[in-house]
Amino acid sequence: MTQAVSIDATAAYDIRAADCISFLRSLPDSSVDVITTDPAYSGMNQHMRFGHGRIVGAYGKPGNARWFTEFSDDPATYRAFLGECRRVLRDGRHIYIMFDSFSLLSLGALVRDFFDVKCVIVWDKVHLGMGHYFRRRHEHIVFATKGRRKLSRRDLQDVWSVSRLRRAAYPTQKPVELFERMLEGSAEPGFMVCDPFCGSGSAAIAALRHGCDFVGADIAPGAVEMARARCAAWSATGSDPLEPAV
């Protein structure tokens, strides 16, 4: 566990090396205000091989067996994950879970057994992906609540046009702006934001920029190291080394 580091004396981060369920089980009941997460679903490594249309940036050399450790997303494990998310989320708070089209079909409906699903947001990546069939340009974000807390803004739409990263430092790296959109209507300064699959730390940067505390974890040591270094750099300079313009 890394020691929480103050950000402008108002926000702190804690990024741990752990699998998602062990990490969530280590948190107290009703201890987080917003969950924003992008799980590494089973089979994602298959889609990220060179020449298969989803690789973004340079993560290594062709022939690497796996880019990152996937989440074993069989229904029983996914239910355990969602149950822990519900336990740690405070009443009247929000959760955002990202899905591609395939995981939305196979797992998305399970979210309704644990939370009140309010909307499925479409992330428009603006630029087309590669491939031999219909070229992918979007992903999905399930927005759900625990309790009746409404969004703090009424002008937010359910299609978000946020350009995907042209060059990413980590395979599943998402734009900070995407997580900032999640926080716009769901978080207030001082809230605790949680990401059990924090990857390179985009959700952490979004939380800190919003004046929120952040707690997250990843099972991949490289991701944890990258996310901690990224947050440390942001706290020291106010600049994100992985997205300098953010």
What number of CA atoms fall less than 13 Å from residue 109's CA on the CB side?
A: 4
Instruction: Tell me the pLDDT tens digit for each residue of 1-40.
Output: 344 443 344 579 999 999 999 999 999 999 999 999 998 7
Helix or strand (DSSP H, E) at 200: none
CA distances from 210 to 116, 183, 201 (A): 25, 8, 14
Contact by Cβ (8 Å): 82, 112: no
Please, which residues bridge with residue 140 across strands? 99, 122
- The reported pLDDT for the residue numbered 228 is 97
Domain residue limits, the chain: 5-237
Written out in words, the top-level CATH class of the domain with range 5-237 is alpha beta
Helix or strand (DSSP H, E) at 159: strand 159-161
* Residue, of 75 and 31, whose pLDDT is higher: 31
* Residue, of 171 and 233, whose pLDDT is higher: 233
- The reported pLDDT for the residue numbered 24 is 96
Give me the chain's average pLDDT, please. Answer: 82
Residue 136 has pLDDT above 50, yes or no: yes
Tracing tokens 């020691």 back to the chain, one arrives at 3
pLDDT confidence of 58, banded at 50, 70, 90?
very low
Instruction: Tell me the pLDDT tens digit for each residue of 167-192.
Output: 767 777 899 999 999 999 999 999 99
- Phi, psi of 82, deg, nearest 5: -65, -35
Give the DSSP letter string of 160-196. EE-PPPSS-SSTT---HHHHHHHHHTT--TTPEEEET
Instruction: Give, in degrees to the nearest 5, the angle at Cα 124 between 120 and 130.
Output: 120
Instruction: Tell me the pLDDT tens digit for each residue of 192-229.
Output: 999 999 999 999 999 999 999 999 999 989 999 999 99
- The reported pLDDT for the residue numbered 73 is 64
Q: Which amino acid is at 137?
A: R
pLDDT confidence of 130, banded at 50, 70, 90?
low
Q: Which of helix, strand or coil describes residue 22?
A: helix
- The reported pLDDT for the residue numbered 52 is 34
* Residue, of 42 and 63, whose pLDDT is higher: 42
